[in-house]
Chains A and B, each alone.
Chain A
């Protein structure tokens, strides 16, 4: 019988090797019944966008703790849009100052999660906002 399953790409763009959080998330999403493609650290936005297209994911989750989120996150959203894939939802997480949020939402990000966000709240957000594409 047919069954749509949510596919998520988790990636860490830029010069940032702190991937404990991303790994915890990958595990948490796995346990929530999603298919998680984990691609690790030190990636360019171009690599991430290409992987998202090749993997036909519903969501791209970006993690950045280096402070370069204001360039890296919008760049991924832009590259996906350029490829006609703006239906792939981009969300981000990390140490994101309050005053940067508006610019990121404007650039096309659909949600930002900061320190203190619970795993349950992330899974809940995804289950509520993402329907695997028919």
Chain B
């Protein structure tokens, strides 16, 4: 498929999906299409949804799509599920919760496998967001794969992070731990009609208040919102629309306090890092691998004829002037 970048800018869904696939597969020269679209990125509001497996992320995402569509916003979704560490295969099952939007031309759902990336996302998510953005999606929802305590990479990509909690996962000490519980801009307690939801609500509120004591006066007041009755569609839609309002409020807060730029700065630095890696180191590695040099080097180092550091210096002096 040629001229992917131009096709994406023209709104071609399949070209967008293919471009994301080229990013996933790390196909050489994919950066050409990314160069073409780069100036058309940076307009969308990126919302991250994260939480444990089965917490209800996909079902909530489906309802968010509905809520945003009611406000006539176009929506892109990047839904991540895990890759098998044994076979490299994956079962991507988030989309099954979002079927009702399949024919809506203003909704684009793309499933991604982690490809064994460790942060709860796929390496292609960062650039995938740019693709959705260039396609003109106003709200981009990134649903992480089911995460534990430490997989918080979403903070490098989303402007607003929603952490979905469910009752029965542990006591208040769990709520005080570092990692996942620190990254929320909004807490959602899902399945709140279940036993233990009230306790979880109190613990989460306590935790939020503790961190608030140390923060500045105009800091964001992290809300803790309850969602129940997934089986009563109207009530469920109402609770999710209340979250949507908070999501919009948070975006406005970031804009008003010049914080959106701060969040973008973090991502941009990481992207430059990645691009440098791709432009400088990757071609060198490709060359060495093509000529079978790497194998020879491994032999040399194994035999202690040379150490890896001297070797790297030699290669560096050959390539870097």
A contact residues vs B (CB 8 Å cutoff): 1-5, 7, 26-27, 29-40, 43-44, 46-47, 50-51, 53-56, 83, 85, 132-133
Report Cα–Cα, A27/B25, bound state, in Å.
22
Residues of A within 8 A of B102 (CB): 43, 46-47, 50-51
Interface 0/1 of B1-20, CB less than 8 Å to A: 10000000000011001101
- Chain B's closest residue to A56 (CB) is B17
Instruction: Determine if A53 and B26 form an interchain contact, defined as CB atoms under 8 angstroms apart.
Output: no
Report Cα–Cα, A133/B286, bound state, in Å.
22
- Chain A's closest residue to B17 (CB) is A56
Interface 0/1 of B103-115, CB less than 8 Å to A: 1000011110100
20 A–B contacts, CB within 8 A, in A order? A1-B26, A2-B25, A5-B25, A29-B89, A32-B87, A33-B89, A35-B83, A35-B92, A37-B111, A38-B92, A39-B95, A43-B102, A46-B103, A51-B95, A51-B109, A53-B13, A54-B108, A55-B111, A56-B14, A83-B14
Instruction: Determine if A47 and B17 form an interchain contact, defined as CB atoms under 8 angstroms apart.
Output: no
Choose from B89, B92, B99 the contact partner of A32 (Cβ within 8 Å). Answer: B89
Choose from B20, B28, B90 the contact partner of A56 (Cβ within 8 Å). Answer: B20
Instruction: Determine if B92 and A2 form an interchain contact, defined as CB atoms under 8 angstroms apart.
Output: no
Report Cα–Cα, A24/B20, bound state, in Å.
28
A-B contact count (CB 8 A): 92
Instruction: Determine if A4 and B91 form an interchain contact, defined as CB atoms under 8 angstroms apart.
Output: no
B contact residues vs A (CB 8 Å cutoff): 1, 13-14, 17-18, 20-21, 24-28, 83-84, 87-93, 95-96, 99, 102-103, 108-111, 113, 286, 289
Choose from B87, B96, B108 the contact partner of A39 (Cβ within 8 Å). Answer: B96
Report Cα–Cα, A56/B16, bound state, in Å.
9
Report Cα–Cα, A36/B89, bound state, in Å.
8
- Chain A's closest residue to B86 (CB) is A31
Residues of B within 8 A of A55 (CB): 17, 95, 110-111
Q: Given A53-B14, A54-B109, A36–B84 Cβ distance below 8 Å? A: no
Report Cα–Cα, A36/B84, bound state, in Å.
12
Choose from B27, B89, B99, B110 the contact partner of A2 (Cβ within 8 Å). Answer: B27
Residues of A within 8 A of B26 (CB): 1-3
Instruction: Determine if A5 and B17 form an interchain contact, defined as CB atoms under 8 angstroms apart.
Output: no
Instruction: Determine if A38 and B93 form an interchain contact, defined as CB atoms under 8 angstroms apart.
Output: yes
Report Cα–Cα, A29/B88, bound state, in Å.
11
Q: Given A2-B26, A46-B102, A40–B90 Cβ distance below 8 Å? A: no
Choose from B28, B83, B92 the contact partner of A37 (Cβ within 8 Å). Answer: B92
